Amino acid sequence: MILMQQKVDAESISSAEALNRKHVAFEDQLDLHRRQIGVLTASGREMMMNQNMAADSIEASVEQLEAHLHELAAKGGQRKARLADTKAMLEFNRKADSFDAWISDKKPQASSKEMGKDLTTVDSMLGKHDQLQKSLDAKELSIDQFRTECSQLAEINSHGSAISAKGAAVFSSWAKLMAASEERRRGLQDSKITYQELEDLHLEFAKKASGFNSWFENAEEDLTDPVRVNSLDDIEQLKADHSMFKQEELKQKALFEDIVSLDSKIKRITSANNPYTWFTLQHLEANWATLNAVVIDRDGDIAKEERRQRENEDDRIMFARHANDFYAWLQRTRASLVEGSGSLEQQLDTTKDIYELIKGERKGLKIIEDLSARMEDKMILDNKHTEHSIVGLAQQWDQLEQLGVRMQHNLEQQIQAKNASGVSDEQMQDFDETFKHFDTDKTGKLEPSELKACLRSLGYMFATIEEGEVDAEWEAVLSQLDPNGDGDVSLTEFQNFMIQRESDKAETSSDVLGAFQAASDEKPYMTRQDLEKAMGPEQADYCVRHMKQYVDGSKVEVGGGYDYQGFIKSVFGRK
Looking at residue 20, what is its pLDDT? 73
Phi, psi of 298 (to 5 degrees): -65, -40
Q: What is the spatial distance between Cα 140 and Cα 507, in angstroms, rounded to a whole number? A: 150
**The total number of residues written for the chain in this structure:** 575
Looking at residue 564, what is its pLDDT? 80
Phi, psi of 465 (to 5 degrees): -125, 160
Distances (CA, A) of 398 to 83, 152, 333, 368, 380: 143, 135, 13, 15, 25
Alpha helices in 275-389 (DSSP H): 281-338, 344-360, 362-377
Looking at residue 67, what is its pLDDT? 84
Q: What is the spatial distance between Cα 326 and Cα 389, in angstroms, rounded to a whole number? A: 11
* CB proximity list for 540: less than 8 A, separation 6 or greater: 528, 531, 532, 534
Q: What is the spatial distance between Cα 242 and Cα 236, in angstroms, rounded to a whole number? A: 10
Domain 510-575 has CATH 3.40.190.10: no
Contact predicate 125/116, CB 8 Å: yes
Q: Which CATH number fits domain 422-506: 3.40.50.720, 1.10.260.40, 1.10.8.60, 1.10.238.10?
A: 1.10.238.10
DSSP category for residue 562:
E
The boundaries of every CATH 1.10.238.10 domain in the chain are 422-506, 510-575
Q: What is the spatial distance between Cα 336 and Cα 403, in angstroms, rounded to a whole number? A: 12
Looking at residue 302, what is its pLDDT? 92
pLDDT (tens place) for every residue of the chain, 575 residues total = 444 444 545 566 676 667 677 777 777 887 888 888 888 888 888 888 888 888 888 888 888 888 887 887 888 777 777 778 777 778 888 889 999 999 999 999 999 999 888 888 999 999 999 999 999 999 999 999 999 999 998 898 888 898 899 999 999 999 999 999 999 999 999 999 998 999 999 999 999 999 999 999 999 998 988 888 878 888 899 999 999 999 999 999 999 999 999 999 999 988 889 999 999 999 999 999 999 999 999 999 999 989 998 999 999 999 999 999 999 999 999 888 776 667 778 888 888 999 999 999 999 999 999 999 999 998 888 888 999 999 999 999 999 899 889 888 877 877 776 777 667 777 777 777 777 787 887 777 888 778 777 776 665 666 667 666 777 777 777 777 776 666 778 777 777 777 777 666 545 556 667 777 877 788 888 888 887 776 666 567 767 777 888 888 788 887 888 888 887 776 554 33
Looking at residue 52, what is its pLDDT? 81
The boundaries of every CATH 1.20.58.60 domain in the chain are 1-110
* 3-state DSSP assignment of residue 558: strand
> If you classify domain 1-110 with CATH, what class do you get?
mainly alpha
Q: What is the spatial distance between Cα 402 and Cα 152, in angstroms, rounded to a whole number? A: 140
* 3-state DSSP assignment of residue 264: helix
> Which class for 448: exposed (0-12), middle (13-18), buried (19 or more C-beta within 10 A)?
middle
> Which class for 572: exposed (0-12), middle (13-18), buried (19 or more C-beta within 10 A)?
middle
The crossing angle, in degrees rounded to 10, of helices 425-438 and 390-421 is: 150
The crossing angle, in degrees rounded to 10, of helices 509-519 and 528-535 is: 120
Instruction: Tally Cβ neighbours within 10 Å of residue 137.
Output: 10
Indicate the residue type of 534: A
Q: What is the spatial distance between Cα 115 and Cα 9, in angstroms, rounded to a whole number? A: 48
Distances (CA, A) of 174 to 59, 133, 163, 196, 398: 64, 13, 16, 32, 116
> Which class for 14: exposed (0-12), middle (13-18), buried (19 or more C-beta within 10 A)?
exposed
Q: What is the spatial distance between Cα 549 and Cα 329, in angstroms, rounded to a whole number? A: 50
Looking at residue 139, what is its pLDDT? 92
Q: What is the spatial distance between Cα 215 and Cα 212, in angstroms, rounded to a whole number? A: 5
Looking at residue 485, what is its pLDDT? 67
Phi, psi of 559 (to 5 degrees): -60, 130
